[in-house]
Structure 1
Amino acid sequence: RFNGFANAWEQRKLGEITDVRDGTHDSPKYVQEGHPFITSKNVSNGFINYDDVQYVTDADYEEINKRSKVDVHDILMGMIGTIGNLALILKEPDFAIKNVALIKYTGDVDYQYLYQALQAGCVTNQLSTGMDGGTQKFVSLKKIRELDIPFPDGWEQRKIGTYFSTLDHLITLHQRKLDMLKNLKSACLSEMFI
């Protein structure tokens, strides 16, 4: 714990501290151009991966977003396939969702803290024991709402969220440098050993 914080943490259900819902259950018609249609496969490593994404029309986008509009500071969680992958939404989104849990930012819990807490072993273990399905694993929205989340007071949430977000930023910077060095090495090996 950080210095200056001694209050006991509560255990709260995710559905008690924020609004948890999911995307559409319908299968809209896909189009060549339009709004990206994000599913569990597009949620990973804190971001939305737009590789291999389908697109929906303006009308379907509007209809889907009546139920599950994604906003800045919301968190997405994969519910099918690779369970528990997360994405923290940091800029205004222009997509609709399916087979993804939408954890809304309500202001009742610090969004950076919640994003980090959802990656903690105590939560990921609950997810892994709560999976259903045979070859295609999935977790129900009810089970996601019932996840036990450690819940410190607001100041401590902000301190923890900021600390781990800073670490994530450093990891990303170092990963880019590592990737550049690997590319440089590969290029040098190609040129040297002809």
Structure 2
Amino acid sequence: MKLPAWEQRELGEVVDVCSGKDYKHLPSGDVPVYGTGGYMTSVSDALSSSDDAIGIGRKGTIDNPYILYAPFWTVDTLFYSVPRPRVDLDFAFCLFLKVDWKSKNESTGLPSLSKQSISSTIVVEPEFEEQRAIGALFRSLDSLITLHQRK
């Protein structure tokens, strides 16, 4: 049996890149707010109530993507990228980890990325079932590494 070939795509065909927003007008609550450095505080409203995503820095730390589990809010220095239908979150995260984001820096000062630079990045993508298997493998390895680091 011949497996389907992996297809070359722009990352914008794999995820929707969304912008974070200011949260200071929101009262405190249970929804975590994330910036480029990770968790910041919690508020009462969510930018994404039900869709998990991948956070990637717009300004500052642009080379440290991480998974965001809904509900969440992101500040304006952090993009969040929601996998499109039939794209596995863990596999999409692996794609983000593989990119040399510093090479896409658009600033001479504070490192910066744009939606366009993220969306136009070329990646390769297999069928959904293969994505799920690859994503599950790497999630399992991450869990095992975390467990051993705690010891």
TM bin, normalised by shorter chain, reads 0.7 to 0.9
Among 74, 77, 80, the residue aligned to 1:102: 80
- Map 1:4-19 → 2, pairs under 5 A: 6-19=3-16
| Structure 1 residue 29: Cα displacement | 4.9
Letter in 2 for 1:104: V
Tell me what 2:55 maps to.
76
| Structure 1 residue 171: Cα displacement | 0.5
3-state SS of 2:18 partner: strand
Tell me what 1:171 maps to.
145
Q: Report the CA distance shift for 1:167/1:5 in structure 2 as closer, same or farther (over 3 A).
A: farther
CA offsets 1:76-122 (integer angstroms, 9 cap, x no match): 112211113122134x42434321111113323111111112112xx
- Ranges in structure 1 where 5+ consecutive residues have no aligned partner: 43-49, 178-194
TM, length-normalised to structure 2: 0.82
CA distance in 2, matches of 1:118, 1:28: 29
| Structure 1 residue 128: Cα displacement | 1.9
Work out whether residues 53 and 68 of structure 2, in 8 Å CA contact, stay in contact via their aligned partners in 1: yes
3-state SS of 1:19 partner: strand
3-state SS of 1:119 partner: helix
Q: How many residues align?
A: 150
Tell me what 2:116 maps to.
142
The structure that is helix-richer by fraction is 1
Report % sequence identity: 30
CA offsets 1:122-147 (integer angstroms, 9 cap, x no match): x22xx222102233111111101111
CA distance in 2, matches of 1:9, 1:163: 18
Q: Give the stretch that moved more between structures: 167-176 or 13-22.
A: 13-22
| Structure 1 residue 21: Cα displacement | 1.3
Query: Which aligned runs of 4 or more in structure 1 are off by greater than 4 angstroms?
Result: 33-36
Q: Give the stretch that moved more between structures: 93-102 or 160-169.
A: 93-102
3-state SS of 1:112 partner: helix
CA offsets 1:171-191 (integer angstroms, 9 cap, x no match): 0001111xxxxxxxxxxxxxx
CA distance in 1, matches of 2:150, 2:2: 35
Letter in 1 for 2:148: H
Among 58, 61, 66, the residue aligned to 1:87: 66
TM, length-normalised to structure 1: 0.66
The structure that is strand-richer by fraction is 2
Answering whether residue 113 of structure 2 is matched by residue 117 of structure 1, we say no
